[in-house]
Amino acid sequence: MRQDSHFSRFQQGRRTWFKRIQKLGLMAIGVWFSPVTVFAKPEDAARAIQAITGGKPLINGKVNLAIPTLIENGNLVVLKVSVESPMTENDYVKAIHVIAEGNPLPNIFTAYLTPRSGTANLTTRVRLADSQTVWAIAQMSNGSFYQGRAETLVTLSACIESV
């Protein structure tokens, strides 16, 4: 008898625990669909990347994209891209494309290089609308594409403020 009541109490405890977990799950879904996450559109970025590569495969590596991991102000973010390449007539980086999946317009810039560039290093300052992944795609002279990426956390977002 005593043992039975113990058992039922255990059952009760397990049930409420399950309910709590379910509530947590619902909260997680709520956060997922909040306006902040809807603002980011990775599929737009995927479309922009598709337009660059024309469906050719993207190889990971060779591209190094450096942006601060934690950004206080998204309006001016120093972005550095470097691509490993000998930069000779036969083997050089033709173009570097930078795509931000959380920006209203994913394309940030495209730089066109030549063998006369000597290196494939580039620094500029960009705007980031949200915490997101930024992609750098290098188009090589032989037609292949390499990609690098960087994750970042933005505290003050660019371009949502009004004037």
Does position 109 bind other proteins by CB under 8 A? yes
Stretch that binds other proteins, among 1-9, 60-68, 96-104, 144-152 (CB under 8 A): 96-104
CA atoms within 13 A on the CB side of 109: 13
- Cα–Cα distance, 61 to 83 (Å, whole number): 9
Residue with tokens 């006369």: 116
Phi/psi of residue 2, each to 5°? Answer: -60, -40
For 61: left if phi > 0, alpha if psi spans -120 to 50, otherwise beta; the answer is: left
H helix intervals, the chain: 2-32, 35-39, 42-53
Judged by beta carbon, residue 12 or residue 124, the one nearer other proteins is 124
Site string for other proteins, 41-80 (x = CB under 8 A): ----------------------------------xxx---
Does position 159 bind other proteins by CB under 8 A? yes
Among 65, 92, 101, 103, binds other proteins (CB under 8 A): 103
Stretch that binds other proteins, among 21-29, 56-64, 126-134, 141-149 (CB under 8 A): 126-134
